[in-house]
Amino acid sequence: MVAELTGDAGGGRGLTSHERAAGRPWDDSYRDGGAPWDIGEPQPAVARLVGEGGFVGAVLDAGCGTGENALCVAALGLPVLGVDVAETAVAVARKKAAERGIAAEFAVADAFRLDRLGRRFDTVLDCGLFHTFDRDERRKYVASLGSVLECGGTLYVLCFSDIGPELGPHPVAREELSAAFGLADGWKVAAVEPDRIRATFNVDGLPAWLATIKRI
């Protein structure tokens, strides 16, 4: 049985800095096919977290794309909501959930207004979304995450890093990542570890940070 969140929680948004630079909205990446981050399976770092018991309680996947990471987590039997601004990606994710018989929810939503979901979560995953935002957008996004993550909850951020011979788009310095989640705003960065993000054009993956951040 597949649960769905009805309605469009992301209506009325403006274009992000990434969309303006690319000259097209996020949805085009999925309608055209072949989004390089859509590898047809969970990111290895996410699958590892699942195996280690890193996800508990109600889970939000912010920027879920076509749902592979969210479905991997939902297969544990946890309640999972995946959200993305790309309607095509959400439709594909819902189809995958139905075909696999996994009870996961997917909704179109604005990452800057997650409070509109009307829910709170114990674990939040950001796989490849944080690094697409500029400095001002990051402030809004972090505040949005804070509005839905329970006190004591855990946020995982997997983003491209700025260390390595072959960097992905939007590389982030460790200091930038840590600075975005400050104690004064109710965050504690528990760990920032080097990892990899796989892409269709690089099966070995590109340098990344995997940050574990607590809501305090």
136 SS3 class: helix
Q: What percent of the chain has pLDDT over 90?
A: 80
Q: Take residue 67 and report the two structure tokens written for it.
A: 């749902």
Assign 7 a pLDDT band (cuts: 50, 70, 90).
Answer: very low
Tens digits of residue pLDDT in 179-208 = 999 999 999 999 999 999 999 988 899 999
- The span from the first CA to the last CA of the chain, in angstroms, equals 35
User: In the structure encoding, which two tokens stand for residue 129, read together?
Assistant: 């979304």
Minimal CA–CA distance to 212: which of 120, 124, 115, 112?
124
The DSSP call for residue 36 is T
pLDDT at 171 over 90: yes
**C-beta separation of 67 from 104 below 8 A:** yes
Residues 34 and 32: their CA atoms lie apart, in Å, by 7
The domains of the chain are located at 37-215
In CATH, the architecture of 37-215 is 3-Layer(aba) Sandwich (3.40)
DSSP 153-190: EEEEEEEEBS-SSS--SS-B-HHHHHHHS-GGGTEEEE
What tens digit of pLDDT does each residue of 126-142 get? 999 999 999 999 999 99
